[in-house]
Amino acid sequence: MQQPNSSQTNAIKHFWDRYIELITKNGVKGNITRWYVMRVEQYIKAVPGKRIAEHGPEDVITHLKNLGRTGSITAWQLRQSVDAMQNMLTMLEVPWLQEVDWQIRSIQNCLKERELNKCRILRWNFAHIQGVKAFSYC
């Protein structure tokens, strides 16, 4: 990966300074700001080869749904990611901001399905251990 030149470095620093100022003004406190920055960095890395200005609602929705499907993120972390990204895109004044379901209903459905699948696996494992052929779903 190519190292940014000094003007790019200044632009990146200005971006993060503005972002941290915005989230602080919106009530994000102390070390939580670092987590918001990490959530945005995670999103940027998830859409490689595109500048943020080239992103669209489908990029955001795909990223959030993918987060919801992974087993490594909790519901509160997903909400934090949503808030972090919404703040960033508000700061950038993207024209398509309202095209994203920021209430994350579809993403919450991914979380619910993931939890339901975990429950099914646990019940199946229990039934299998007990030698029971029939088992119920959550």
Better-predicted residue by pLDDT, 106 or 50? 50
Q: At 56, which helix (H) or strand (E)?
A: none
CATH number at 100 reads 1.10.150
**pLDDT tens, residue by residue, 9-49:** 899 999 999 999 999 999 999 999 999 999 999 999 999 99
- Quote the pTM value: 0.72
Asked whether residue 114 is domain-assigned, the answer is no
Are the C-beta atoms of 22 and 85 separated by less than 8 Å? no
Q: For residue 68, give its domain range.
A: 6-104
Give the model confidence (pLDDT) of 106-127 as tens digits: 555 655 665 555 554 444 444 4
Is 117 within a domain?
A: no
Closest by CA to 83, choosing from 127, 135, 35, 116, is: 35
What are the counts of helices (DSSP H) followed by strands (DSSP E) for the chain?
5, 0
Q: How far apart are the first and last CA of the chain?
A: 47
| Within a domain: 29 | yes
Task: Quickly count: other Cβ atoms within 10 Å of residue 82's Cβ.
Answer: 21
**Number of domains into which the chain is organized:** 1
| pLDDT computed for residue 128 by the predictor | 44
